[in-house]
Amino acid sequence: WFQKREGALRPLDFVAAGALLAVPVGLIMKQPDLGTSLLVLAAGLSVIFFAGLSWKLVLPPVVIGGVGIFTLVLLGDQLCAEGVRWVLLHDYQQQRVCTLLDPTRDPLGKGFHIIQGMIAIGSGGVWGKGFMAGTQTHLEFIPERTTDFIFAAYSEEFGLAGNLFLIVCFLLLVWRGLAIAVGATSLFGRLMAGAVSMIFFTYAFVNMGMVSGILPVVGVPLPFISYGGTAMVTLGLALGILMSVARAQKQDTKDPRAAI
C-alpha cells in the first residue's frame, strides 16, 4: 500500500492503511486471541509510523492511552468489583486485567501465575541459583515454565546478571534490525525491516512484562528462548527477512546499476 504511493502520500492513505490493519486485528480478536491481535496491531502500527506518520497524530492516542491506564489503576477496585462487566472485553480478559492490578485478590486461583512468576524472579537474586537448580521451576510452582513463563525460570536460574545479558541481546537485535531498515534501498524493504524489528521488541517486552507482573498474562513466547517449533520457525523466517534486506542493500552498494 505505501510502496505504491511512495512520494505522494496523503493523510487519507494513512487512514486507509489503518482500515487495512483493522481487518486482521479484528478477526484475530474475534477468535478470541487478544495476545496475537495485539502483536499484529503493534507490527502494523510500526509500519504506518515508519511510513511517515506525523508525531502530531501519534501523541494524542499515546496521551489518551496513558490517561486510560492511570484511570484504570486509580479506579481498579471499583472497576473490578463483583458484578461489574466491561463491554469491550470478554470475561476472562477482564479477569486478567483485574488480576494484574491486584494478584492477591485470588492468590490460589487467577493470581497464582503472576505471584509465582514474581517469586521466581526475585528468588534468583543477582547471580541466580544455577542452571537447572531453580526450586520454583522444578517443583512445578511455575505454570508453562518452558513456554510462556520461561522468563521466570530463566530469571531464577541466572538472576539479574542473566536478565541484563538477555535484555542487552534483544536490544542489540532490535537495534541491528532498525539499522538495516534505515539503510534499506527501497521503501518496501525499509518498512518490512522496521516492522520485523518491532515484532522482536514487542514479543520480548510483552513476555517479560506479563511474567514480571506489569502486563496482563497473554500467550506470547519469548523469542528464541521459549520452547515451541512454530515460534522458532516464524521468528527464524523473520531473521531471514532482515538478512535479505541487508543483502539487497550490499548488492546495490556494490553495483550502482542495480538501483536504476
pLDDT tens profile 120-176? 888 888 888 888 877 777 777 777 777 788 888 898 899 899 999 999 999 999 999
> Side chain identity at 201, as an amino acid letter?
F
HSE-up (13 A, CA, CB side) for residue 160: 4
Distance CA 83, CA 194 (A): 43
Report if residue 229 sits inside a domain: yes
Rg (CA), the chain: 21
Report if residue 186 sits inside a domain: yes
The answer to whether the beta carbons of residues 202 and 42 sit under 8 Å apart is yes
* Residue 25, C-beta contacts closer than 8 angstroms, at least 6 positions apart: 37, 40, 41, 44
Distance CA 153, CA 135 (A): 9
- Residue 214 C-alpha cell reads as 506489569
Low-confidence ranges of the chain (pLDDT < 70): 252-260
Distance CA 179, CA 61 (A): 27
Report CA dihedral (205, 49, 182, 169) to the nearest 10 degrees.
Answer: 0
The answer to whether the beta carbons of residues 187 and 180 sit under 8 Å apart is no
Report if residue 73 sits inside a domain: no
DSSP 22: H
Distance CA 105, CA 94 (A): 14
Tell me what pLDDT residue 172 has: 95
Report if residue 84 sits inside a domain: no
Q: In the chain, how many domains are there?
A: 1
Report if residue 196 sits inside a domain: yes
Q: Which residues span the domain enclosing 255?
A: 112-260
Distance CA 151, CA 255 (A): 45
Distance CA 185, CA 42 (A): 24
Report if residue 72 sits inside a domain: no
Tell me what pLDDT residue 25 has: 92
Tell me what pLDDT residue 147 has: 78
Rounded to 5°, angle at Cα 185 from 183 and 186: 120
Distance CA 56, CA 248 (A): 33
Three-state DSSP class for residue 6: coil
Tell me what pLDDT residue 260 has: 47
Report if residue 166 sits inside a domain: yes
Report if residue 206 sits inside a domain: yes
